Amino acid sequence: MTSTTTTTSTTKPGGARVRVQRFGTFLSGMVMPNIPAFIAWGLITALFIDTGWTPNAQLASLVAPILYFLLPLLIANTGGRMIYDQRGGVVATIATMGIITATMGDPVFSGSPMFLGAMIAGPIAAWLMKKVDSIWDGKIKAGFEMLVNNFSAGILGAILAIIAYFGLAPIIQAITTALGAAVNWLVDAGLLPLASILIEPAKVLFLNNAINHGVLTPLALQQSEETGKSVLFLLEANPGPGLGLLLAFTFFGLGAAKATAPGAIIIQFFGGIHEIYFPYVLSKPVLLLAVIAGGMSGVATNVIFGSGLVSVASPGSIFAILAVTERNSFLGVILSVLVAAAVSFVVASVILRASRKRDIAAGNAGDLSAAVAATQASKGKESSVLGGLVSEGTTDTGSATGTGTATLVKNIVFACDAGMGSSAMGASVLRNKIKKAGVTDVTVTNQSIANLTGDADLVITHQDLTDRARQKSPNSQHVSVDNFMNSPKYDEVVEIVKRNQGVTE
């Protein structure tokens, strides 16, 4: 195989989209690890409140403490840990308690869970703790480390809690109130379906977790606490648009896209991993019209029926959605999924059939690699490819030149935005291929890009996320794929590890 290296250009790696993705990942990173707690709250709410399936006043008393205290404090602690490990998490939790107490104690502010406050106060508090520790780093006399560390964190935490109580709480409440009013205005004006014009394209750019868990979830939880349900939980999580798109490829697609679409449907609709359909959209960007139309129709259906979920559905599987559907909303929610799928299917089918002859003539018969070319054009430079990894003595290490010394590949990491959905799927596929090849002593794991530590021999990401992965793990070899479920590059990775270990057929 010929050696392939990464070419460079005047475009600085990353750019605005990478920065937006990084910020969105940070927001969603505070929520995603705590999704089980949100689901637990949703199930308790659905079962035991007055309008629940099995009303129980005693068990319903769990709802408010979890919503107002546990969930915001979990978010704050997670955000603090992301900035400054356990020490940052502790101080972040203390500071956030100041905001929570202020809003619960003032009748003007009471009734608003402080998720936004936790997302702001938590990371800031952890960052301040990190800066304070840097002042006397290496200057503490032996034997006084524990005393200084404990008291500095305690004193700073107390100060920040007081500042948050008097200073941040009114500001956060004003922002929360304004955002809630904006959403209510969209609902009252019948304009909420227009949100799909922004949400669906942003999803394809791997901002889905940031939108859902960083923006919509906090607002939706507040609505759910007030009314028992919220349509905002379904703006991003509705699997209908993706289902319709993949069905269109199943019936009217070409080549690899047509062949892989049925399997992708199972993963997307039942498994809840929406990222699986993104490459299909990227292969023909005009298909954004299909998912936008599907998303808008799904939102409109929920608005008409007044339906919603009681808590966050993550992943966006039909099973997870039905599990947290408000008891009187099943008809509207199910119809919103079916209508969204039908509209997306019709629009995508028209687009695919209209361009069928042109695609065949151009030699682009369902080759998903077209999505790679489109992404490269938008980046202004070529993505790294695995061809260099299997060449004689030349490897893409993610450096500026793309050349380096071939290294033993024993630790492979799949990385994606959240580190759960698509990366877990890709890791499972490659792990099975390596096992069938008789290769041992090679670990294949998955994690979020934000948690990359730089010790992986090989990092595999979707091509839209490779620049961010390189920044987090610059000394690793990097591989870009356009489809986590079925990439030909997996076979080339297997050949690499087989060659490393001297495994022969």
Distance CA(306)–CA(124), nearest Å, equals 38
Size of the chain in residues: 505
Active-site hit among 416, 442, 465, 493 = 416
Distance CA(387)–CA(406), nearest Å, equals 13
Helix (H, G, I), strand (E, B) or coil at 141: coil
Alpha-carbon distance values, 323 to 281, 312, 332, 496 (Å): 29, 10, 14, 43
Give bridge partners of residue 414 from the DSSP assignment.
446, 460
Q: What is the DSSP letter of 324?
A: T
Buried b (16+ CB within 10 A) or exposed e, 276-315: bbbbbbbbbeebbebbbbbbbbbbbbbbebebbbbbbbbb
Helix (H, G, I), strand (E, B) or coil at 366: coil
**Strand order in 411-416's β-sheet?**
443-448, 411-416, 458-462, 477-481
Distance CA(96)–CA(165), nearest Å, equals 9
Closest CA to 344 of 271, 277, 431: 277
> Is 382 labeled as catalytic in the residue annotation?
no
Torsion, Cα of 145, 148, 150, 155 (10° steps): -170
Distance CA(471)–CA(492), nearest Å, equals 24
User: Using an 8 Å Cβ cutoff, are 46 and 75 in contact?
Assistant: no
Give the residue carrying structure tokens 């936008």: 292
User: Using an 8 Å Cβ cutoff, are 440 and 479 in contact?
Assistant: no
Give the residue carrying structure tokens 């009303």: 55
Positions marked catalytic: 416
